[in-house]
A and B are shown apart, each in its own frame.
Chain A
Amino acid sequence: MADNEALTADALTLEQQWTPPDRGKVGIIFLIITETALFSIFVAAYLVYIGKSLVGPYPKDVLEIPIIATICLLSSSLTVYLAEHALSKNELGRFKFWWIVTICLGLEFLVATGLEWKKLIYEDHLTISTNLFGSTFYSLVGLHASHVTVGMIFLLIVLAVTLMGFPIQTQFRRVLFLSWYWHFVDAVWVVVFTVVYIVGR
C-alpha cells in the first residue's frame, strides 16, 4: 500500500516535470535537414559539371557577382531576428517595422535574381538547354530562389494578418519557426554564392 501511494505521488511529480521538446521545433529542424539533403545534390551536380560545358557562354564571361542582392539577403537574417526579438518582448510596432524591412530585402533579392536571369537569357543567350553551365546554374539558383519565394509568401501572410489586427504575439512559436526557415534560406545562399560565383568562376 505504502509502495503504491509513493508510486502515485512519484507519478504526479513525473508528469509535472515532463517537458519534451516542442513538436513544431522538432518538425522545422528536420524539415531543414531534409531540405539540406535536397540542396546538396544540386550543389554536387554543379560542382561535378564545373568546366564541363562543351559550348559557351561560360561562367567567367557572363556571371557578375551579385553583391547588393547578397548583402540584402544576408542582412535580412538580422532584421528577421530583430523582428522576432521585438515580438518576444511584445513590442508590436518594432516587430512590424523590422518585418517589413525583411520583406523589402527579400523582395530586392528576388528582383535582382530576375534581372540577372533576364540579362543572361536575352543578352548572353544562356538558357537551361544551352550547356551544362546553364542546366546546373538555373536549377541550383532557381531552387534557391523558389525557396526564397516560399519564404516571402509566408512572410507576407504574417504581415497581412498582423496588419488586419490579428494578435500575432499569440503565434510567437510559428513566427519563430518561420524565422528559422528564413535563416536556413540565407545560409543556403552562402553556399550557393560560394559555389556558383566564386568556385565556379
Chain B
Amino acid sequence: MASIDYPLERPRHGEKTYSFSEALYSWVSTVDHKRLGLMYIVAALIFMIIAGIMAVVIRMQLMFPESHVVSPDTFNRLFTMHGTTMVFLLGMPMIAGFSNYFVPLMIGARDMAFPRMNAFGFWIFLFGGLLLYFSYIGGGGLGGAGSAPDVGWFAYAPLTSKAFSRGAATDYWILGILVSGVGSIASAINVIATTISLRCPGMTLSRMPMFVWVMLVDSWLILIALPPLNAAQIMLLMDRHLGSNFFETQAGGSAVLWQHFFWIFGHPEVYILIFPAFAILSEVIPVFSRKPIFGKPAMVGAVVAIGFISLGVWAHHMFAVGMTAWSNTFFAASSMLVGVPTGIKIFNWTATMYGGRIRYSTAMMYCCAFLLQFLVAGLTGIMLAVAPFDWQLHDSYFVVAHFHFTLIGGAVFGIFAGIYYWFPKVTGKLLSEKLGKWNFWLFVIGFNMTFLTLHFAGFLGMPRRIYTYAPDRGWDTINFIASVGAFIQAAAVACFVWNVLYTLKKGEPAGDDPWDGWTLEWATTSPPPEYNFEKLPVVRSSRPLWDLKHPQDPDWKYE
C-alpha cells in the first residue's frame, strides 16, 4: 500500500552518554535550532527570576509607608534593572527562543535558514545581558560614582548625560542593550528567511500555522523597531564619550528627541513582546477547544494590521510633554485604531472556544486568564490613549498597572501557556498538572492582588518610581495588598520551577503527541531528533496532522 509522506514511523536513536566536558562543548558549539531555542528560553527564565526577585524587593520597600528596606539609590537601580531585564533579557529572548524552536518544526524544515547566524544571535544576546549585569561590578568606572544603571528603563535625557550620570553604569546599560539588540535583529532576519524559504512542500502561506504567521510579523516589527533604538543608543554613546550634542540641551540639542526615538522603538516593542503570547494562544486554544481556529484569514489580517499600525502610535507615551494639539489628536486616534485588530483577535479566540469541547489543562487555563486580563489591559490602554485622561494619570501607578497587565497578564501568561503546552515535546515528559494548577492559581491570584489594586493607587495620585510615601496619603492599604500579591506571585514562580525540576527527574513520559495536536511538530518524536523529520512532510491543509489522523475526512477537501 502506498503511504503518504508523513514521518510517523521513525527509528528512535539510543541515548549516548557524554562526559561533562563533551556535553558542554556540544552545547557551546551547537548550531541546532532546537538547542539554541532551548538555551534562549532557559536564559530568559533565569533573567526573569533575577528581575522577579528585584520586583519583590521593590514591593517590600513600598509595602509600608516611610520604610527603608533599601536605600533610595538602590531603589532607583532596582527598578531600572528590573524593567531593562524584563524587556530586553526576558521578552526578547523568549521570542527568539520560541520561534527558533518551533518555527522550523511547524513548517516542516530541518533547521533555520542561517544556523551559524542563529548561534551568533544567541551568544551575543547572552553576553549583552552579562554586560548589563557586569555594571554591578564595573559600573563605578573611573568616575567612581554609581554601580548599576539608575536612569529608568527608558533613560530619558538629560538624566543620561555625563553631568548627571557619572561613572560607567549608564554606558553598560547602553552597550548591553545595543549588543543584545544586534542579536535580536540577527534572529529576526533568520526567522523571516526560514519562514519564507524553508517551508516544506505544500505549506503555502495560507496553510501556515498561526504561530508561524505571528512570529513572522513579530520579526518584521523587530527589524523596523530595533534599529531606531540602536541608533538612539549610538547617539547617546557619542554624546557621553565623543562630546556630540544630540541630547545636550545646552548646545541646542533636544531632550524630547530622545523620547521620540525611544518610543519609535518602544511602542512597537510592546507589540513585539505580546506577539509570542498571541502566537501561543492561537495554537493552544484551538487544540484544547477541539476546533480549528475561528476566522484564520481575519486573524492573519489583524496581526499584519497591528504590524503596521503599531509603528505609528509611539507619541501616546508623550502626551504630557507638550506636543501640538494636532500631534496629540493624531496619536490618540492611531492608538485607538490599533485596538481594532487587537479586538478582532480577542473575539476570534473567544469564538474558537465557543461551542468547543474545552479541556482545562494548565496551558488552557493560562490562555483563559490571558483573555480576561489582556482585555482589561487593552481597555485601560484605550483609556490612556485619550490625551486628557492621560494628562491626569501620566506617570502614575495607573500606568504601571496598565502595562503590567499587558506584559504579565498578557505576555508572561501566554509564555507560561506555551511552556506547559510544548514542554512534553521538548523534553518528552509531561509537566505535573497538579503542581501546574497550584502554579496557575497562585499566579492569577497574586497577579490580580498586585496589579488590579495598583490601578486604584494611580487614581489616588501615587506617582510611579517614588521611593516611599507618607502614611496620610491613603495609599498604604493598597500598597500592602499589592506587596502581599507580589509574594504570592513569587510563590507561584517557585511552584513552576519546582514543577520543571521535579518533572525532569520523575515526570511521566509524554509520548509524541499528548494533546492530540494538529501541527507538524507533533508528528515527530519527543524530543525531536536533530534532523527533525526523517522525510520532509507534504502538506495539504492548515491542519496536516488532522488530515493524517482522519484520512476519511481530511481538511483539504474543504479548504
The residues of A with any CB-CB pair to B shorter than 8 Å are: 1, 4-5, 7-8, 11, 14-15, 18, 20-24, 26-27, 30-31, 33-35, 37-38, 41-42, 45, 48-49, 52-54, 127-129, 131-132, 134-136, 138-139
Contact = CB atoms under 8 A, between A and B. Distances in A.
A38 B536 CA distance: 38
B1 A21 contact: no
B163 to A, nearest CB: 14
B196 to A, nearest CB: 5
A33 B193 CA distance: 13
Nearest to A129: B243
Given A27-B114, A38-B230, A41-B264, A20 B198 contact: yes
B310 interface: no
Interface string B203-243: 00000000000000000000111111011101100100011
B126 to A, nearest CB: 21
Most B-side CB within 10 Å, residue of A53, A127, A129, A136: A129
Interface in B222-281: 223-228, 230-232, 234-235, 238, 242-246, 251-254, 257, 261, 264
Nearest to B6: A11
B21 interface: no
7 contacts: A1-B1, A8-B3, A15-B5, A30-B192, A37-B228, A48-B254, A131-B251
B183 to A, nearest CB: 13
A42 B233 CA distance: 11
A100 B546 CA distance: 57
B224 to A, nearest CB: 5
Nearest to A6: B2
A37 B261 CA distance: 12
A41 B236 CA distance: 13
B5 A33 contact: no
Given A20-B197, A27-B113, A42-B231, A128 B238 contact: yes
B189 A34 contact: yes
Most A-side CB within 10 Å, residue of B188, B223, B226: B223
Interface of B: 1-5, 113-114, 185, 188-190, 192-194, 196-202, 223-228, 230-232, 234-235, 238, 242-246, 251-254, 257, 261, 264, 536, 538, 551
A134 B201 CA distance: 54
A11 B192 contact: no
A11 B238 contact: no
A8 B230 contact: no
In order of increasing CB-CB distance, the 6 nearest A-B pairs are A129-B243, A135-B244, A41-B231, A38-B227, A23-B197, A37-B227
Nearest to B539: A14
B199 A20 contact: yes
B231 A132 contact: no
Contacts of B190: 27
Nearest to A53: B252
B445 to A, nearest CB: 42
Contacts of A138: 244
B2 A8 contact: yes
Nearest to A33: B223
B242 A34 contact: no
Nearest to A17: B201
Contacts of A1: 1
B4 A34 contact: no
Contacts of B185: 34
B201 A129 contact: no
A132 B253 CA distance: 7
Given A14-B202, A38-B231, A129 B242 contact: yes
Contact of A45 (B3, B188, B246): B246
B249 to A, nearest CB: 11
A8 B535 CA distance: 14
Nearest to A4: B2
Contacts of B199: 20
B202 A18 contact: yes
Contacts of A8: 2-5
Contacts of B228: 37-38, 41
Given A34-B227, A37-B226, 7 more contacts: A8-B3, A15-B538, A23-B198, A34-B226, A48-B254, A53-B252, A128-B244
A7 B5 CA distance: 10
A139 B234 contact: yes
Contacts of A135: 238, 244-246, 253
Contacts of A41: 227-228, 231-232, 261, 264
Given A4-B2, A23-B197, A34-B185, A129 B232 contact: no
Most A-side CB within 10 Å, residue of B2, B245, B251: B245
B177 to A, nearest CB: 15
A132 B245 contact: yes
Contacts of A15: 5, 201, 536, 538
Given A30-B223, A37-B224, A11 B197 contact: no
Contacts of B232: 41
B252 A5 contact: no
A21 B185 CA distance: 21
A54 B251 contact: yes
A31 B252 contact: no
B237 to A, nearest CB: 11
A188 to B, nearest CB: 13
